[in-house]
Amino acid sequence: MDCLFCKIVAGEIPSTKIYEDEYVYAFKDIDPQAPFHAIVIPKTHIKSAAEITAENSFLVAKVFEAIAKIAEQENLEKGFRVVNNCGEQGGQTVGHIHFHLLARRNLAWPPG
């Protein structure tokens, strides 16, 4: 399948790994928007948050379990933000569901 993040999971495109388990892979964003910016993805290809079903929703839980572990591993005790962009107006540019994990600066709210 011609998917950038599937290729990253397969090691066909290099990435800087932050965390990996059976279900989840996390790596440094190539264009960081904060001093700490990871992309956290299920290894299974799901197009976007709009494609979550009763069958695959456990993978979202696995992603959030991984995020808690990464936060501990990376000492993000001051806090962090998790962002999911979905679809064209949501700002999604890669068609494999992913969660941005941003930290180590004050993050504005509302995000704009």
Give which of ligand 5GP, Zn ion, none residue 6 binds (C-beta under 5 to 8 Å, depending on kind): Zn ion
Nearer to ligand 5GP, 55 or 110 (CB): 110
Residue number with CB closer to ligand 5GP (59 or 102): 102
Query: Strand order in 36-42's β-sheet?
Result: 17-20, 24-28, 36-42, 99-103, 80-83
Stretch that binds Zn ion, among 5-13, 22-30, 31-39, 71-79 (CB under 5 A): 5-13
> What span, in angstroms and rounded, lies between the C-alpha atoms of 89 and 64?
24
**Which residues have CB under 8 Å from 21's CB, separation 6+?**
62, 66
Tell me the window of 19-27, 43-51, 55-63, 75-83 that interacts with Zn ion (CB under 5 A). 43-51
The candidate with the shortest Cα–Cα distance to 41, out of 56, 20, 57, 13, is: 20
Q: Using the minimum distance from each CB to ligand 5GP, give the nearer residue, 71 or 82.
A: 82
